Structures are given as C-alpha cells and as structure tokens.
A = this chain, B = another copy of it.
Amino acid sequence: MTSIENIKRRCEANAKSHGYFLTPDPEFLQNLFEGLKENEERYGYGACPCRLASGNFEWDRDIICPCDYRDADIEEFGQCYCALYVNKDVFDGIKPMEPIPERRPQAKVDQAMGKTTKSISTSSETAETSDTNRKLYYCKICGYVAFREEAPLKCPICQAKQEMFGEIVFNIGIKAR
C-alpha cells in the first residue's frame, strides 16, 4: 500500500523535476496527499483529489495526477486545478491562489459521469477498445514522441504547445511492375 510519505516524496520530486512547487499551505497539502492516497486505494491509481473519478481507468486517465492539464494551467494561471502544483509566484505569495476554470473538456466529464451508472462489463469492453484509438504523436520542435489519443497540451521536454505536434504515419507501399 502506498503511504502518505511515498505520495509526498513522489509529488515533491515531480514538482522539482518540472520546475514547480507544492502548495505552500501545509494543511491543505496534507489534505491533497490524503485524497491521492484514498484514490490510489479505491481505484488503483491516483486520480485527481479535486475531481470526481469514474473508477474506469480509461475514462479517468487524463485526470490521474499529475493530470493532463497541469502544465497548461500552471503556464496560464500559475497553478493546477487543485493548486497542488504551483509556480514560484504563487508559492511566494506574489500571485494569489484562486479557483481556475476547468480545462478538462466537458465531453470527458460527461463520459466519466455517465459511466458511473453503467455496469463493469461494459466499462471493461470500453477500456479494451479505447486503447486502439491511440496514435503516435511527435513534437515538431524537439521530436518527443507520445502514444496517446490526442497530442499532449504541452510537450513535456521542450514545452511546445499542442499545435506543434504532428502524427507519425507509416507509409507501407507495395510496388507492382
């Protein structure tokens, strides 16, 4: 079982490795760690402690912490949706922490919420098939490659925007004489 200590260490290392900070309020931080631990125990993965997860891995994938939206939110607002991860200005109190808009597309929220009333068997089938929707995307600037349903909002290596991603297509030709 994952301990709070483990989660704390993982979040700290992840923040540092991306140039971020953890929220400066120690009590709030402890609550977020506990939320992550609860989700890990309940779902088997650390879904975002500030959003409602469906329990279906495929449908929650974008909100597994650090979520798909974190880097774009930190760039725009100085903090992620939860304010677990913040930038230096928010950490230093120069910029106030405040509620930010939900960047997760409504369609994903609806899918996840609809899902909670469906049977497990359906969900497994969906989980199975949805992996086939992944494509190989590459960053046109640094060449970073990711296998996802959509290109990431930001390149984790060079911070390029989503528009800078292209799809890798394999052309296999057969020539007949």
- Chain A residues proximal to chain B, CB less than 8 Å: 6, 9-10, 12-20, 45, 57, 61, 64, 66, 68, 74-76, 78, 87-89, 131, 134, 136-138, 140-148, 152, 156-160, 164, 166, 168, 170, 172
Contact = CB atoms under 8 A, between A and B. Distances in A.
A9 B13 CA distance: 20
A76 B170 CA distance: 37
Contacts of A145: 136, 145-147
A61 B140 CA distance: 8
Chain A, interface SS category: mixed
A134 B171 CA distance: 13
B13 A87 contact: yes
Given A10-B75, A14-B19, A19-B14, A134 B138 contact: yes
Contacts of A17: 17-19
Given A13-B18, A66-B158, A159-B10, A143 B138 contact: no
A112 to B, nearest CB: 16
15 contacts: A9-B75, A10-B75, A12-B19, A13-B74, A14-B159, A17-B18, A64-B141, A66-B158, A68-B142, A136-B145, A136-B168, A142-B152, A143-B146, A143-B147, A147-B168
